[in-house]
Each structure stands twice: as structure tokens, then as C-alpha cells.
Amino acid sequence: MSRAAFRSIAVLGGLALTGVTTGAEPAHAADVRSPFPQPWEPPAGAWVGELTAPPLPYWSREAPGGRVNADRHTERGEPVFHGDRVYLGTAAGEALYALDRRSGVVEVRFPAAGNVQAAPAVSDELVVFGDSGGRVWAYQPNGRPVWTYDAGAPVLVQPTVHDGVVYVSTVDDLAIAIGASDGALVWRYQHKTDLARRTELALYAAPPPVVVGDEVLIGFSDGTLMAVDRAGGVPTWQRRIGAGRYPDIVAAPFEAPGLEGLVFVSGYYEPFAALDVREGRTVWTAPTGAAARPAVVAREGEGPMLVQPGTDGRLRAFDARTGDPIWTWDSGTSGALTEPQPTPAGILIASTDQTVELVDPITGDTRWTYRPDQGIDGVSVAPAVDGRQVVFITNAGRVISLRGPKPSRPTPRDDGMRVDLGTGRPLR
């Protein structure tokens, strides 16, 4: 039995995957709740500015697609903002959903062949995503289908779209390049796992391919990081990274801005490593694993800092160039952490066993913790942040939106000149 078949049974509870449907279906706006009365605002007015202080409740709704028939489940449909919408998939719905970011109302449903358990790639012209049924889909934003490609195994990663090509990987250690305009196969690379490094159970996950220059970096279940030629999918080099009980690489390799030539990669169990891809050498390692990629945070007067979300529930800050530890933040649980989201208010982080929190990037102290009225059963994918708005999906099956305080408005001046409080411009 293939890894895809085994893990589909183990993780999805033996639910059969339905057949492929095409075309957009009517959207339904069920169970949209607002925690307090909200005056209508122009669309951009709801999220302009930056998240400079802990956010407040904005709206909350049941995840579209219905409820999962289980005591506990995991929601991995990471939300993505684009324009006036937020896009996400759910564990119960065989579709991707586009929600109005001001209300949570479903505007468009993009049908799929299985659950959409990863972020989509969204542009003004195209919405591309994969599903647990093994298909990759491309739609127009209005819901009209463009093409679909059968990858043969669950696609649980956000597609990487670069220079007209869509790159995805499957849970069966297969990487595929597809034409973004027509869905035609450009190349495919099937990794032959090292049996000596394979564990009895492999994780039901895969990292998205990452384009670095003329190469595509791909992580695999045996802990191998492989570089292939972007044009033809021919391997150019590989490194053995992952180690320990779960060597799987499921976090996307990360090329930090301002650190060209350095790529950071984690095994699920361990380690966290900095690689110089130009020289093909390991610069430094740390004995900690991750299920999501790190984030880079600038430090005034010092070099950049990397913040790594550990699978042990700890957020660790390292000097990006040397690997020297700076601080460690403990979530208080052993649940894996999501990808950190740096904001002016702090580093937004979530835990599979806890909630959403803000961490001080200088000290590593907790600045704020989201404590809802009802349980959330953890958050397994990173919150989306755009301007002052935050959206995340909980393992209890709710989509929650928070919003930071509005930017302060100008006040009248003391020199006798009157100022418009809305624009700050002098009144004549």
C-alpha cells in the first residue's frame, strides 16, 4: 500500500474521496456571527494601517463546508488574503472558499475532489490549489474553472507559481511542474527514498517546492533536501538533513531576504540547519525541529534574527548568520507551532494545542494571548495578517477574524487653523 493510501485511511478516518466536480456552485452564507455591533465602513477602511497593538474580535463563523464527524480533528486550510477576500479550505468541505473579509460571508465556492488542506496561490487572474483527492485546480476568481491536473496522490501544499509554472509536491515524495496557463505537465520528479533513513511511519505531509534562482528546492520524507533544475526537473544536488524519529522535511525551505545564498531548512524532529547553496555546505545547525518555516526579524544595529517554530511547542530566536541562540519562548504545551507572522505589535504565533499569541521580538516574552469565549482546540496553520486584520481557522472548526485598533486621527492644532479630522488637511 502506498504512503498516500495508508495515510489517507489513518488520517482521514477511512472516508472515501468523492468524484471530481466542475464549475462554480452557489455560495451560501450560513452561521456568520459578529461579536458586537459594527458600523459599516468602506472596504479598505476595515484593515488599513498596521497591527500595532493586540487585536480585538471582528467576526466569527463556523467553517464552511459543514462539520467533521469526530471528537477532534485538524484544520490545515491556511487562509490567504487577496483584495477584499480571504481564501481558505476546510476539513469537511470538498472545496476552496472565498470569504468576504469584512463579514466572513462565502462569496465563491471552488469545487474540488477532496478536502483543501493547504493555502491556495491567488492572483488577480488565477486561483490555484491542491486537494486530498490528488488534484491540482486552477480557477478564475469568479469561480470559472480553467484546468485541473491529476497528481495521483494528495496535494497538501500551497502551490508555488513562478514564471508561468506551478510547482507542487505530493505526500508520496513526488514533485510536479505544471503550466499555469493550461495545466500541461512540464516535468515530474519521483524521489527514491533512502530505505536506511525511512521510519516505520511517515508523516502525512509534504513541504511546498521553493524556487531559488534556477533551481527548485524540495524536501522529502526521508529527510533529504533536493535541488532540481527549474526548467527540466533534473537533480543538481542533495543534502541529508532530517534526523531522529521523524526525519521528514515538511516545513518549506526558507530563503531569508537580505541573506542571499543562505537557505534554512528543518527536519520535523531535528535539526534546524543553515545551508550555503552556492558552496554546498552547512553553515550551522541547531538540535530542534519544525513543521513550518521560520521568519526573519530585523534587529536595529544588529544582524537579522531568525524565529523558528518548534515541533516541541517552543519558539526560538537565532542569529541568522551564526546560529547563536537569542531567546526561547515556551507555549506551555508540546504542540507544534505554526509559521511565525512578524507584525509591528509583535510576532503572531499559534499552537496546535493552544491559541494565538503575540510574542515580543526583542525579549521573547508574551505580549498578548487570545482567550475566546469558547474552546478552539488549537490552531494548526498560521494566521493570515493583512494590515490591521487577522484571520485564522481553529481545530474546533471556526474561522475567526480579529482587527487591530484604528490608526490615531490628527487633532486640531493650537495656532488657530482648523483641521479636517478625517483627512488631517487644513480647512479653508
Q: Mean pLDDT, to the nearest integer, of 2-16?
A: 34
In a domain, 427, yes or no: no
In the predicted structure, residue 164 carries a pLDDT above the cut 70: yes
Grid cell for residue 232: 527540466
Q: Mean pLDDT, to the nearest integer, of 191-201?
A: 71
Q: Where are the beta strands (DSSP E) in 101-232?
A: 106-111, 121-122, 127-130, 135-139, 145-150, 160-162, 165-169, 174-179, 185-190, 210-212, 215-219, 224-229
pLDDT in tens, 138-156: 999 999 999 999 999 999 9
Q: How far apart are CA 29 and CA 309, in angstroms?
A: 34
In the predicted structure, residue 21 carries a pLDDT above the cut 90: no
| Burial tier of 214 (Cβ tally within 10 Å: 0-12, 13-18, 19+) | exposed
pLDDT in tens, 239-293: 999 999 899 999 999 998 888 889 999 999 999 999 998 887 999 999 999 999 9
Lowest mean pLDDT among 58-62, 192-196, 339-343: 192-196
Mind giving me the DSSP string for 364-390? --EEEE---SS------SPPEEETTEE
- In this predicted model, which residue has the larger pLDDT, 202 or 376? 376
In a domain, 41, yes or no: yes
- At residue 372, the pLDDT reads 86
Per-residue confidence at 200, pLDDT binned at 50, 70, 90? low
Say which CATH number the domain at 121 has: 2.130.10.10
In a domain, 418, yes or no: no
Q: Mean pLDDT, to the nearest integer, of 72-97?
A: 96
In a domain, 354, yes or no: yes
Per-residue confidence at 426, pLDDT binned at 50, 70, 90? low
In a domain, 422, yes or no: no
Per-residue confidence at 9, pLDDT binned at 50, 70, 90? very low
- At residue 423, the pLDDT reads 44
In the predicted structure, residue 216 carries a pLDDT above the cut 80: yes
Lowest mean pLDDT among 171-180, 252-261, 284-293, 340-349: 252-261
Q: Could you give the number of structural domains in the chain?
A: 1
Q: How far apart are CA 319 and CA 213, in angstroms?
A: 24
**What value does the mean pLDDT of the chain take?**
85
Q: Phi first, then psi: what are they for 43, rounded to 5°?
A: -45, -50
In the predicted structure, residue 91 carries a pLDDT above the cut 70: yes
pLDDT in tens, 365-421: 999 999 887 788 999 999 999 999 999 999 999 999 999 988 766 544 444 444 444
Helix (H, G, I), strand (E, B) or coil at 224: strand
In a domain, 420, yes or no: no
In a domain, 295, yes or no: yes
Q: How far apart are CA 268 and CA 241, in angstroms?
A: 10
Domain of residue 160: give its range: 3-403
What percent of the chain has pLDDT above 70? Answer: 83
Q: How far apart are CA 19 and CA 417, in angstroms?
A: 68
In a domain, 412, yes or no: no
